[in-house]
């Protein structure tokens, strides 16, 4: 799926992989980071997104979608 980096039991993915998983643009991922809607940290010049926060975001969006169908 992409490069996963592990740090203290957490898995991290780069923005491009997060965008693919969330089915959004890279710019939208940066917006989610700015809004605090995903857990991210910058390593050198690369933003890494927590796999857990991606999974939580997908679950949240699925629940919202189900609520309106």
pLDDT in the model for residue 34 = 98
pLDDT at 5 over 90: no
Per residue in 6-56, pLDDT (tens digit) is 667 789 999 999 999 999 999 999 999 999 999 999 999 999 999 999 999
Question: What is the CATH architecture assignment of 5-67?
Answer: Orthogonal Bundle (1.10)
pLDDT in the model for residue 68 = 85
> Residue 39 in 3-state DSSP?
coil
Q: What does DSSP assign to residue 8?
A: T
CA distance 3 to 28: 20
Taking the alpha carbons at both ends of the chain, their separation in whole angstroms is: 30
pTM equals 0.84
């Amino acid at each position: 799926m992409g490069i996963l980096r592990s740090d203290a039991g957490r898995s991290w993915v780069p923005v491009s992989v997060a965008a693919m998983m969330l089915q959004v643009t890279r710019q939208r991922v940066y917006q989610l980071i700015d809004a605090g809607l995903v857990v991210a940290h910058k390593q050198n010049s690369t933003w890494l997104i927590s796999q857990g926060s991606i999974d939580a975001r997908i679950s949240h969006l699925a629940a919202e979608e189900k609520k309106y169908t």
